[in-house]
Structure formats: C-alpha cells, structure tokens
Amino acid sequence: METLCLNSSETQIAAEILQRGGIVAVPTETVYGLAANAFDLQAIKKIFVAKGRPSDNPLIVHISDKDKIYEVVSSFPEKASYLAEKLWPGPLTMILPKNPRIPHSVTGGLDSVAVRLPAHFVIQEIIKKSGFPLVAPSANLSGSPSPTNFSHVFEDLNGRVDAILDAGECSIGLESTVISFLEDPPRLLRPGAITPQEIETLIGPIIIDDSVYSKLKPEEKVLSPGTKYKHYSPKAKVVILKGTSEKYAEFLNSLSSENIIALCFNQDIPLLKIPYISYGDSSNSSEQAKKLFSSLREADKFFPQIIYAHCCRNEGVGIAVYNRLVRAAGFKIIKL
C-alpha cells in the first residue's frame, strides 16, 4: 500500500480517509497514534494487522468533546466526571463500562472501554471533521518504542497505513495515564504525565496496581491486557544500572566499549569513556519522558548489543519514565 504523507493543515484529507474506512497515523500530545473509526469493524481490524498487535490488547477511544462521552460509555461515575472536568483535554485515559455500540474488537472482548479527550489540536480537528470517535493505539510496530515524531512512525509503518500526518515532536513523549473506574477507590493501571498525586488531590485516594512497578506473576489477574506484552523495546538488549553517576561511569568504563552504549543523563557525560546518548537532566523527569523513546530508537542506530540505561528517579512523572524503562529492559536491573 502507498502511504500518503500529510502536513498539519491537511486534517480534512485525513478525516476523509478515515470516513472511507482507512487508517491514519496522527499526532497527539503523548505519542503518535494510529487512528481508525471506533465503530468500523473492518477499519479496526486493519489497525491490529498494521501494528502486529495481539487482538486481546484493547484500544483507547478518543473523543473531541466531553458531551459526546455517552457515545462511548454507558455510565460516567461522579469521580470520573470530575477528573474529566479538571484534566481533559489531556493525557488521562479512563476505563469505564462500555456503550453497546463500541465493538468488542476495540475492547479486546472486555465490557469496559478506555476513553480519552486528547489536547493536541490536530487530532481534535480530525475527530470533529470525521464525525465519529477514533481508536488510536501508538503508531508503532507492536513491541517497539512508541513514536514521538513523524520519522519514528515512517520507520515502522510506511507501506502499512493509508497516511501519516506530520506535526513535529510530541510535547509529552510517553503514553497517557490510565485509571480504571470499574472499582472504588479507582485503580491506576498505567502511569503517565498526570501523576497519582495530582489525581489524589482531586478525587482522594486511589490504588496503584502492582503491575505499575513490577512484573506480573503468572497467577496474577491481568486488569490491563497491554501490560502483559513485551513493550517499548529497541532491537538491542536494555539493562538498567542503579547508582550514582560515579558508580555508573566506573562500571561502564571498565567494559569493552565496542558493542555497548550508555543511555545516560547529562550529568554522566563528562565521566563516560564509552559511546553515549543522554535522555536529559537527572533531575528533570518531564525532559526524560520526552526523550526516552527517541533515545532508545537513536541508540539502536549504533547497533549495540546492550544499551546500559542509567536508572531514573521513581517519583512524580518519573514513575511513568521508570515504568517504560523497566519494561524496555524486561525488568533487568543491576544495583551498583
């Protein structure tokens, strides 16, 4: 298939492709998404094929107007509605009971649906012009780091999708925070740029699902099917090193530099004698969030056997950065 490349003023063309049942990669403030009509079974199927995504991994449905929520869900509890009022449009996805109109192929067979109102004007315009909500999982091949600019999407999906719309770099760089309202207190299933503390300030205590920090044990119930799959991984193996800049550099400088690369912080650079890529300042979690996925893709271009990532701070937005990094590393962490 020939993939059409669009610019950010060509939202009408993107909407027309979606109305004809096509699939289009579009920017959001989190990462680029691969969009299709949430009510069109054939278009939804094309998304799973293009990404190579397992069919039980449900998709997030994107709306452009809070008043249209009942096209997607069958109930909207008070706490969820209050969060929507305060944090939408924005990087927050809520799991709610699904409207019967939403096909089970969208929800991986579940009776719940994930819904978000994104802040990026391009996807908002496309939803409005299309006239229906859009499913939009990350626009990458399943398992690889999520795409945060046009060239990442092009690398993975050129020839597999109808169009890619280029609107530059995503401002956040990590996927949305996912919170489930199927129970009370609500349960955080995936951390993102909106932190647990921010949510708790608005609606009181929430539960953080065990899968946020650690690998699920085989007997544990999977509440968010996406969490059981290999995720965010570059081609090279990733290993996380936990320790000070000095210990990190000492460990790496003692290895043969041929087949390895450091995924480090700016502060580590003067100490390192091996090839490196920085994913930001060690105290700036938002910068790390923005750069993590593109740094993993960039590191792969050196064809290393191992990427040694310096462990980030696990608080605030850093919880989300840590969550993606440990998955990219398959939970391999060395304490120095």
Give the one entry of ligand AMP, Mg ion, none that residue 225 binds, where binding means its C-beta sits below a cut-off of 5 to 8 angstroms depending on kind.
Answer: ligand AMP
Q: Residue 302: how many CB atoms within 10 A of its CB?
A: 13
In the numeric block, which tokens belong to residue 235?
A: 């081609």
Answer yes or no: are the C-beta atoms of 59 and 44 closer than 8 Å.
yes
Nearer to Mg ion, 138 or 286 (CB): 138
Q: 179 forms bridges with which residues in the sheet?
A: 94, 188
Residue span binding ligand AMP (CB under 6 A) among the ranges 20-28, 117-125, 150-158, 224-232? 224-232
CA–CA gap between residue 293 and residue 309 (Å, rounded)? 12
Where in 125-154 is the site for Mg ion (CB under 5 A)? 138
CA–CA gap between residue 259 and residue 240 (Å, rounded)? 16
Residue 137 binds ligand AMP, judged by CB under 6 A: yes
- Total of residues contacting Mg ion (CB under 5 A): 1
Nearer to ligand AMP, 95 or 326 (CB): 95
Answer yes or no: are the C-beta atoms of 17 and 69 closer than 8 Å.
no
CA–CA gap between residue 114 and residue 95 (Å, rounded)? 4
- Near ligand AMP by CB under 6 A: residue from 211, 224, 278, 284: 224
Q: 277 forms bridges with which residues in the sheet?
A: 263
- Near ligand AMP by CB under 6 A: residue from 46, 116, 187, 190: 190
Q: How far is the CB of 175 from ligand AMP (least distance, A)?
A: 4
CB-based closest residue to ligand AMP: 226
CA–CA gap between residue 71 and residue 131 (Å, rounded)? 12
Rg of the chain over CA atoms, in angstroms? 20
Residue 112 binds ligand AMP, judged by CB under 6 A: yes
Q: How far is the CB of 53 from Mg ion (least distance, A)?
A: 8
Give the number of C-alpha atoms closer than 13 A to the C-alpha of residue 18, restricted to the C-beta side.
30
Please count the residues of the chain. 336
CA–CA gap between residue 124 and residue 23 (Å, rounded)? 16
Q: How far is the CB of 224 from Mg ion (least distance, A)?
A: 12
- Near ligand AMP by CB under 6 A: residue from 118, 226, 280, 304: 226
Give the one entry of ligand AMP, Mg ion, none that residue 60 binds, where binding means its C-beta sits below a cut-off of 5 to 8 angstroms depending on kind.
Answer: ligand AMP
In the numeric block, which tokens belong to residue 162?
A: 């109808």
Q: How far is the CB of 283 from Mg ion (least distance, A)?
A: 28
Residue 113 binds ligand AMP, judged by CB under 6 A: yes
Q: 308 forms bridges with which residues in the sheet?
A: 239, 262
- Provide the binding-site residues for Mg ion, judged by CB under 5 A: 138
- Provide the binding-site residues for ligand AMP, judged by CB under 6 A: 57-58, 60, 95, 107, 110, 112-114, 137-138, 175, 178, 189-190, 223-227
